[in-house]
A and B are shown apart, each in its own frame.
Chain A
């Protein structure tokens, strides 16, 4: 998009400069033709020509320079977007290294404790659980930043590829099932029709949106999370429901705001960055779909029948 604008400006500037130059050169002639007896006509035409020339040259030069800067990152011709992604991947890999070591130690310790049958202090068990549970959080956080970088890149467009939506939902379910189980939550999923088939769209975006929705649901669900994948004629939907306390009306307006989390209102420790639902909603729109929320808060103490349901709708085929 920005490339097209800069290119148009470049040619417009160049045309203006050429027109200006032409006016300067032709001003004596034009002045004589228009008013043969009044040579003062030459000056305004020359001034206008000079103005056109200077302005056109500046616009053309600046557009050329900006376009080049946004296009070429290094001498190898990669775009800045590619260079940024490259650096970010390296950064993400290196940042993951300490976590991989901590996670590895934790899993070894857990295996050892299981083998020996040693009874551990409650705090030790909680610490081991916490390390394991924070790993998907970390993975999601890194991915959120990567997607944000991509969303900021005006030239980036959603991929169009054959996508096995059921496989993506299944993968997300597998990723979060152990965490949900640890928290006493049953995570289930199904798709209708059971042979769901392929759709055409951006698989990474779908994966990322569903991951954010399920991650969010594991924080608030009381006993169950359901992921439902359904298909209609032109759209398919992924609905993620949880039986958590629901979202208050005053919060609902901010749910998709960047950086907003419920803890901000409660003045308590933040459990998330507040980027997930903003990114999910932005990605959904970018892929030609939408993300809506439907919630119910119960008035009784036990929050019976309360729920929150996020529904992501995307086109079955976005090739057109």
Chain B
């Protein structure tokens, strides 16, 4: 039995003058449940302008060292601040063009997005746009991809956790983590590939061609099938479950495999 220590949470800076709205509260909640530490930029004063947000954002980036910034386009009540978010974006990129910025806007497409994209792409910045009506789930997925680096831990439902860096898979039971030692080498590589795809996008199927790199023998497809079966058996044994054909790792006919988080 090995107990797992939880790493420090990654900070995400949220810059939005409506950060106290119900809509934004649901985003905060989701970010927290996904292991992020969301911090809102809150300038103080009676009549705040976009410039106040700009100053405080740049200051917070220096002090909080966030992994990403969630930034609104519109600020304040003044017409001059209608697109202040774009000018804050420009300032952030000028200082650190590797900082991932997810723009929260009504203009997920259209001329203003195009202007901002053109401006940010020219310096190779990591910028994406998302509609403010997007579900918190979608926000987290987009943020993850924007941050890009593989997470320390990928949760596979509530039953398993994978640590790609340490090459370890855990079975989780009542908060206790037990290493599944049977899963190593090619089986671990296959699970890592499937879990990474699931982490990036819920519905992504990993094509056979990508997984067959981790199988051997003359018939690589058959060999892959065997490894997947072994993988399911090992995972099932660790949680006293028998995963059927339509559970955990699903064969999508003629295409590839897909990891589906198991239910309790």
> Known: A93-B74, A101-B22, A190-B207. Contact between A171 and B142, CB under 8 A?
yes
Q: Closest chain B residue to A193 by CB distance? A: B209
Q: Are B203 and A135 in contact (CB under 8 A)?
A: no
Q: Are B142 and A104 in contact (CB under 8 A)?
A: no
- Bound Cα distance A178, B111 (Å): 29
> Known: A89-B112, A177-B203, A178-B135. Contact between A188 and B26, CB under 8 A?
no
**Interface check A3, CB cutoff 8 A:** no
> Known: A174-B202, A189-B204. Contact between A146 and B210, CB under 8 A?
no
Interface window among A105-113, A254-262, A294-302: A105-113
> Known: A139-B133, A174-B138, A188-B258. Contact between A146 and B207, CB under 8 A?
no
For B111, the chain A residues whose CB sits under 8 A away are 82, 85-86, 89
For A227, the chain B residues whose CB sits under 8 A away are 203
- Bound Cα distance A104, B107 (Å): 19
Q: Closest chain A residue to B113 by CB distance? A: A204
Q: Closest chain A residue to B138 by CB distance? A: A174
Q: Are A194 and B207 in contact (CB under 8 A)?
A: yes
For A89, the chain B residues whose CB sits under 8 A away are 106-107, 110-112
Q: Are A187 and B203 in contact (CB under 8 A)?
A: yes
**Interface check A170, CB cutoff 8 A:** yes
- Bound Cα distance A189, B136 (Å): 21
**Interface check A138, CB cutoff 8 A:** yes
For A32, the chain B residues whose CB sits under 8 A away are none
- Among B23, B203, B207, point to the contact of A100 (Cβ < 8 A): B23
- Bound Cα distance A115, B196 (Å): 29
Interface string of B189-232 (1 = CB under 8 A from A): 00000000000111111110110000000000000000000000
- Bound Cα distance A233, B210 (Å): 21
Q: Closest chain B residue to A93 by CB distance? A: B106
For B106, the chain A residues whose CB sits under 8 A away are 89, 92-93, 96
For B145, the chain A residues whose CB sits under 8 A away are 167, 170
**Interface check B4, CB cutoff 8 A:** no
- Bound Cα distance A177, B24 (Å): 21
**Interface check A130, CB cutoff 8 A:** no
Within 8 A of B (CB), among A83-133: 85-86, 89, 92-93, 96, 99-101, 103-105, 107-108, 111, 132
- Bound Cα distance A82, B29 (Å): 38
**Interface check B123, CB cutoff 8 A:** no
Q: Are A188 and B23 in contact (CB under 8 A)?
A: no
Question: Taking each of B112, B136, B200, B204, which has the highest tally of chain A beta carbons within 10 Å of its own beta carbon?
Answer: B204
Q: Are A190 and B23 in contact (CB under 8 A)?
A: no
Q: Are B142 and A174 in contact (CB under 8 A)?
A: yes
> Known: A85-B110, A101-B22, A171-B142. Contact between A135 and B133, CB under 8 A?
yes
For B23, the chain A residues whose CB sits under 8 A away are 100-101, 103-104, 107
Q: Closest chain B residue to A108 by CB distance? A: B22
- Bound Cα distance A190, B111 (Å): 30
- Among B109, B136, B203, point to the contact of A143 (Cβ < 8 A): B109
Q: Give B residues with C-beta under 8 Å from A.
A: 21-26, 29, 74, 106-114, 131-138, 141-142, 145, 200-207, 209-210, 252, 255-256, 258
**10 A-B pairs in the complex with CB atoms less than 8 angstroms apart:** A89-B110, A89-B111, A92-B106, A104-B26, A132-B135, A136-B133, A139-B133, A173-B202, A190-B255, A192-B209
Nearest 8 A/B pairs, CB to CB: A104-B22, A104-B23, A107-B26, A190-B205, A93-B106, A188-B203, A204-B109, A108-B22
